[in-house]
Amino acid sequence: MRVCLLASGSRGNSTLIEVDGCRLLIDAGLSGIETSRRLSTIGLTCDDLHAILVTHEHHDHVGGIGPLARRHNLPVYIDQQTHAALPKLGKIADLQLFSAGESFSLQNLLISSFSTTHDAVNPVGFTIQSDEGKIGFATDLGIPTRLVANQLQDCRVLVLEANHDEQMLQDGSYPWELKQRIRSRHGHLSNNQSCLLLEEICWSGMEALFLAHLSEENNCPDLAGQVFRETLTGCGHDPEIIIGRQSCASFCFETEPLLVS
């Protein structure tokens, strides 16, 4: 199992997940060239990919999907309302439509989608389950709902939004309307909101926590890392914390296969 945030933040998001030989991207907000460049830092090319999963239609998540899917013949798994909200996506030869809340298989993986609250038509998070354990993925969340907390239980690796520090957002230069949008039930999770969610779902089997979609203006990697480390310590757990960056790929987390007893 390998997980790497190729890019994370309001200017482009894409995450590489490799489980049991199946390599997929969750979102493709970078250009094809940049996706390829960042994959190369972990020894992969776009031709090594098997699928793209889409969380929602915002440009920072879908900007590179059309060209990437067409050039490399990749199936695109996308909620049907989200697809309808992307008239400029262009033709995708292998379009795999689902409805938020549905599960589907991809090679040996069971992928489940679940609804999130965000200002998009039908946004989702994902869990990916296999013999190697469960990966949870939830970014672009207005609020951490009960459904999200339930879906993200028992994850070996968790990718969670940590968009802003509430005080930095308050004191920062964004216009008031934008601050309100970010803070709203359909905006983004603050460090504190995300930590409250984490308290409900962290467990001894969690090996890595990725912090994703950090605002470059309203958050700071060191601060976020410290806040989440304190939360995890308070819960008695010690997974690795890996922080997603906008300008480069994150550390690539890699596990050995679980020993089957």
Residue nearest Zn ion, CB atom distance: 58
Q: How far is the CB of 162 from Zn ion (least distance, A)?
A: 13
**Is there binding between residue 27 and Zn ion (CB under 5 A)?**
no
Q: Is 128 helix (H, G, I), strand (E, B) or coil?
A: strand
**Is there binding between residue 164 and Zn ion (CB under 5 A)?**
no
**Is there binding between residue 188 and Zn ion (CB under 5 A)?**
no
Question: Which helix (DSSP H) or strand (DSSP E) does residue 66 occupy?
Answer: helix 65-72
Q: Which is nearer to Zn ion, 148 or 202 (CB)?
A: 148
CB burial string 44-56: b at 16+ within 10 A, e below? bebeebbbbbbbb
**Is there binding between residue 23 and Zn ion (CB under 5 A)?**
no
Q: How far is the CB of 118 from Zn ion (least distance, A)?
A: 6
Choose one: 32-40, 59-67, 99-107, 165-173; the region binding Zn ion (CB under 5 A): 59-67
Q: How far is the CB of 39 from Zn ion (least distance, A)?
A: 20
**Is there binding between residue 58 and Zn ion (CB under 5 A)?**
yes
Alpha carbons 132 and 211: distance in angstroms, whole number: 21
Q: Which is nearer to Zn ion, 100 or 109 (CB)?
A: 100
Q: How far is the CB of 241 from Zn ion (least distance, A)?
A: 21
**Is there binding between residue 140 and Zn ion (CB under 5 A)?**
yes
Q: Which long-range contacts (C-beta less than 8 Å, at least 24 apart) are formed by 82-90?
A: 82/54, 82/56, 82/57, 82/120, 82/121, 82/122, 82/123, 82/124, 84/121, 85/57, 85/120, 85/121, 86/57, 86/62, 89/62, 89/65, 90/66
> What separation, in Å, do the N-terminal and C-terminal C-alpha atoms of the chain show?
19
**Is there binding between residue 161 and Zn ion (CB under 5 A)?**
no
Question: Which helix (DSSP H) or strand (DSSP E) does residue 97 occupy?
Answer: strand 95-98
Q: Which is nearer to Zn ion, 25 or 206 (CB)?
A: 25
Alpha carbons 15 and 37: distance in angstroms, whole number: 14
CB burial string 234-261: b at 16+ within 10 A, e below? ebebebebbbbbbeebbbbbeeeeeeee
Choose one: 52-60, 62-70, 165-173, 252-260; the region binding Zn ion (CB under 5 A): 52-60
Residue identified by tokens 């999770």 is 189
- Binder to Zn ion among 60, 79, 132, 161 (CB under 5 A)? 60
Tell me which residue of 205, 188, 90, 98 sits closest to 143, measured CA to CA: 188
Q: How far is the CB of 163 from Zn ion (least distance, A)?
A: 9
Structure tokens belonging to residue 7: 């890019």
Q: How far is the CB of 3 from Zn ion (least distance, A)?
A: 18
Q: Which is nearer to Zn ion, 56 or 156 (CB)?
A: 56
Choose one: 41-49, 60-68, 101-109, 143-151; the region binding Zn ion (CB under 5 A): 60-68
Q: How far is the CB of 260 from Zn ion (least distance, A)?
A: 37
Q: Which is nearer to Zn ion, 18 or 140 (CB)?
A: 140
Q: Summarize as ranges the residues that interact with Zn ion (CB under 5 A).
A: 58, 60, 140
